[in-house]
Amino acid sequence: EATCTMQAARCPTDELSLTNCAVVSEKDLQSGQHVTVKTTPNHKFVFTVKGHHTVVPGTIAFSLAVYSVWCFLSLAVSNYNFDKSKQCIGAMTIEIDFLQKKSTDSSPYDSDKMAAEFIQQFNNQAFSITQQLVFSFCDKLFGLMIKDIEAMDASILKGEPASGKKQKIDIGLMVGNSQVIFEKAESSSLTLVGKAKTKEARQTIINPDWNFEKMGIGGLDKEFSDIFRRAFASRVFPPDIVEQMGCKHVKGILLFGPPGCGKTLMARQIGKMLNAREPKIVNGPEILNKYVGESEANIRKLFAEAEEEQKRLGANSGLHIIIFDELDAICKQRGTGASSTGVHDTVVNQLLSKIDGVEQLNNILVIGMTNRPDLIDDALMRPGRFEVKMEIGLPDEKGRVQILTIHTNKMRGFGLLAPDVNIKELAAETKNYSGAELEGLVRAAQSTAMNRHIKATSTVEVDMERAEKLQVSRDDFMGSLNNDIKPAFGTNQEDYASYIMNGIIKWGDPVTHVLDDGELLVQQTKNSDRTPLVAVLLEGPPHSGKTALAAKIAEDSQFPFIKICSPDKMIGHSEISKCQAIKKVFDDAYKSQLSCVVVDDIERLLDYVPIGPRFSNLVLQALLVLLKKPPPKGRKLLIIGTTSRKDVLQEMEMLDAFSTTIHIPNISTGEQLVDALELLGSFTEKERANIAHQMKGKRVWIGIKKLLMLIEMSLQMDQEYRVTKFLSLLRDEGA
């Protein structure tokens, strides 16, 4: 950098001195560039340059405030370039006083207008700490001194959300959205009004050093930003603007969703992220008291502090957070309780009038949590009370990566996690796991790893030499995945494994066709936005393997949620409890993004018998409704039904509820029978040839399941009688 020495001078005109620029001859420097001015080796200031023809070359002119200090100095002047990403001014604090003591007056000056004027006048200009300025406002001259400069957050400049870091700088560049705060000098008689006069009055309610990972919440970013937008955006804004908009704050948030997904965790952390006082946490059942009026008094106590503070401080009152865990315990639908006292009802009434009654509180935030939103009284759910309803659902794959990372962070830090553990792979394997189940999985893997290091001699002791080398490996996680922790929602592998015990025997084209059609329907469910609900009925004669095929299609779909709704789980249920059990399977399915429900053996579910003829109308109506009810927005559902009495379902008008019907045939020709025998591989080749010869050109009619049975029976005979026994069994079956 070329440095030249210049002589300090006075600005030729008053207008020039009000610009607070360094004025030079146009021969020396160009207008608009920035220069560093060194007075002594340790003191330097940065000025923005303005060229003017009246200035003598070799001199540099300043406003009187600066010149009076530097009048006889020769200054070292060099070029200066700003780093826009780090040196834009975010906030600048300026001490202000009248320039001449004799021109004081007592009229109030609006600091907001002053700040706006200041930013307009000095846009794109350089400022240094302790620099003196002259400023004209409302025809009065003011002397300013810069006390403090804070850099603008680099992430805001990129258009991202603020990172919340505060960076002090000595030299900054004024930009259009800088913030200017005026403080009057101590001895000054100046009167300032407006927001820009103080920094402290407006306390921010968001804690600056706050981040999700540290808080131990994963997979809820979208939910958090939604809650933030609805509940806190209005509280972060300056109160005056909120007042001008006539906007009321949100007072209540209801978090609901399946157990173990982080509702309570989230509420706990909302308290931490805000600079509010510690939230009051209330467990629903604690409120209730057997004495008349005590339960309501408990509710009133919760709100007493907030009421008192609101009366005292009005709009400046801090935020009071009250968290109700298990809200359904106290806010049941009114008029449903069987008890004569109706304690519940009065508690609900008391809560309603406190949150949004005639005397409104504007400084509370009530957070309720429940996994049974259907039980809660409707009056609580209206806007003004629990206005923001947030479903905290099962985490998706990205969320699971975050959650597993959080729970394994400590082990990773201390090198206790084996290098072969791949979090991404684990997240892909754990479809439909809730946050709590993922935590359980990590715990189970840890205990498996620890168990390897325990010597079970006569006493149980830890093998100290090996314990030093303890590492939790991928096998520990996989073992726990398969044996210890199963998701409450989602697929139960054992469920459908038992239906496909002997595998699928593709004895002919009909079987392949069924599987292909099934695959098509799975793809349709996955990819089509127009049909989020696909229902298919597999019908065919008994023993033709319908359930096995349905289970196979479901398993191959790889959907995260697969449930089989089968009559064997409902033996002896009453009609009503049967309906509830079926409804629960569907309700669970709606919670997952992609689900498949197999409704097995429909005529058994309906208690149908040909004698009499009788069936359960209640269950029939429930199924008809569920088969047609589309899943919630953004969720997809495939329903596979099986039945061997298509004619009966036709009469019950149930066939129309299915999108399509697939027929599952029996084995009908001798060739198909021989193919099936070959695939099953039970008879020797010679025996098979013998059977093929006997069956040539004959028609048969037998289900694959029945065929398996007959083969296994005939295999119990001695070698030479096996074929004859098999053929005679076939004949007896009328096949």
Run of H or E including 92: strand 89-98
User: Is the model more confident about 65 or about 22?
Assistant: 22
Mean pLDDT of 46-62: 83
Lowest pLDDT segment from 340-354, 384-398, 583-597, 687-701: 340-354
Domain with CATH 1.10.8.60 in the chain: 397-484, 668-733
Q: How far apart are CA 346 and CA 354, in angstroms?
A: 12
Tokens of 30: 């160009």
Partner residues linked to 12 by β-bridges: none
Mean pLDDT of 229-256: 78
Domain with CATH 3.10.330.10 in the chain: 89-193
Q: How many Cβ atoms sit within 10 Å of the Cβ of residue 55?
A: 22
Q: How many Cβ atoms sit within 10 Å of the Cβ of residue 227?
A: 20
User: Is the model more confident about 358 or about 213?
Assistant: 358
CA distances from 733 to 374, 458, 466, 707 (A): 53, 63, 65, 10
E strand spans, 336-429:
364-370, 386-391
pLDDT score of 662: 93
pLDDT score of 136: 82
Lowest pLDDT segment from 270-274, 296-300, 508-512, 664-668: 270-274
pLDDT score of 342: 60
Cβ neighbours for 585, distance < 8 A, ≥ 6 positions apart = 563, 565, 597
Give the residue numbers annotated as catalytic, written as ranges: 546-547, 600-601, 628, 705
Domain with CATH 2.40.40.20 in the chain: 3-79
CATH topology for 212-391 is Rossmann fold (3.40.50)
Q: Out of 1.10.40.50, 1.10.8.60, 1.10.3720.10, 1.10.150.120, select the CATH number for domain 397-484.
A: 1.10.8.60
Q: How far apart are CA 406 and CA 395, in angstroms?
A: 14
Superfamily of domain 493-665: P-loop containing nucleotide triphosphate hydrolases (3.40.50.300)
**Average per-residue pLDDT for the chain:** 81
Mean pLDDT of 30-59: 80
Over the stretch 450-474, which tens digit does the pLDDT of each residue have?
Answer: 887 777 666 777 767 776 778 888 8
Per-residue pLDDT for 240 more than 70? no
CA distances from 681 to 53, 511, 702, 728 (A): 107, 18, 18, 20
Tell me which residue of 14, 71, 21, 10 sits closest to 45, measured CA to CA.
21
pLDDT score of 723: 86
Per-residue pLDDT for 556 more than 80? yes
Confirm if 63 and 45 have CB atoms less than 8 A apart: no
Residue 310 banded pLDDT, cuts 50, 70, 90: confident
pLDDT score of 199: 47
Lowest pLDDT segment from 257-261, 330-334, 443-447, 688-692: 330-334
Best mean pLDDT range from 195-209, 240-254, 543-557: 543-557
DSSP string, 564-614: EE-GGG-TT--HHHHHHHHHHHHHHHHTSSEEEEEE--HHHHTT-BTTTTB
Contacts 24+ apart (CB under 8 A), 403-409: 403/218, 403/219, 403/435, 403/438, 403/439, 404/218, 404/438, 404/442, 405/213, 405/218, 406/213, 406/216, 406/217, 406/218, 407/438, 407/439, 407/442, 408/442, 409/213
Partner residues linked to 534 by β-bridges: 638
pLDDT score of 517: 93
Q: Is the pTM of this model over 0.75?
A: no
Q: How far apart are CA 467 and CA 448, in angstroms?
A: 13
pLDDT score of 203: 43
Mean pLDDT of 140-158: 77
Best mean pLDDT range from 289-298, 420-429, 479-488: 420-429
Over the stretch 3-17, which tens digit does the pLDDT of each residue have?
Answer: 788 888 888 887 777
pLDDT score of 232: 75
pLDDT score of 623: 92
Q: What's the CATH code, domain 89-193?
A: 3.10.330.10
Q: What's the CATH code, domain 3-79?
A: 2.40.40.20
Per-residue pLDDT for 200 more than 50? no
Best mean pLDDT range from 17-31, 172-186, 292-306, 344-358: 292-306
Mean pLDDT of 186-205: 61
Domain with CATH 3.40.50.300 in the chain: 212-391, 493-665
Per-residue pLDDT for 143 more than 70? yes
Q: Out of 3.30.70.330, 1.10.10.2120, 3.20.20.140, 1.10.8.60, select the CATH number for domain 668-733.
A: 1.10.8.60
pLDDT score of 522: 92
Per-residue pLDDT for 202 more than 60? no
Confirm if 260 and 488 have CB atoms less than 8 A apart: yes
Per-residue pLDDT for 254 more than 80? yes
* Share above pLDDT 90 across residues of the chain, in percent, rounded to a whole number: 10
Q: What is the 3-state secondary structure (H, E, C) of 291-332?
A: CCCHHHHHHHHHHHHHHHHHHHHHHHCCCEEEEEECHHHCCE
Cβ neighbours for 98, distance < 8 A, ≥ 6 positions apart = 104, 140, 141, 142, 143, 188, 189, 190
* Share above pLDDT 70 across residues of the chain, in percent, rounded to a whole number: 88
Confirm if 326 and 283 have CB atoms less than 8 A apart: yes
Tokens of 379: 């009056």
Best mean pLDDT range from 304-308, 383-387, 388-392, 576-580: 576-580
Place of tokens 């909120």: 242
First-to-last C-alpha distance (Å) of the chain: 103
* Residue 227 DSSP SS3: helix
* Residue 205 DSSP SS3: coil
